[in-house]
Amino acid sequence: MATKRTYSKKTSSKRTGKALGLYSLVIVAVAAVVGVASLLGLGGDGLKNTLSEMFGSLLGEEQTVSADLEGLTKAEVTKVADGDTFTIDTGDKVRLIGVDTPESVSPTAEKNVPFGKEASDYTKSQLLGKTVYLEFDVQEKDRYGRLLCYVYLADGTFYNLHLVEEGYARVMTVPPNVAHEEDFVAAEDKAKKAGLGVWEDYENIFPE
Catalytic residue ranges = 95, 103, 146
Alpha-carbon distance 172 to 156, whole Å?
A: 22
Helix axes 13-40, 44-59, angle to 10 degrees: 150
Phi, psi of 60 (to 5 degrees): 50, -130
Q: Peptide bond preceding 102: is omega within 30 degrees of 0, i.e. cis? A: no
Q: How many helices (H) and strands (E) does the chain have?
A: 7, 7
Contacts 24+ apart (CB under 8 A), 34-42: none
Asked whether 198 and 169 are in contact (CB, 8 A), the reply is yes
First to last CA, the chain: 30
Q: Which residues of 99-121 are buried (b: 16+ CB within 10 A; e: fewer)?
A: bbbbbbeeeeeeeebebbbbbbe
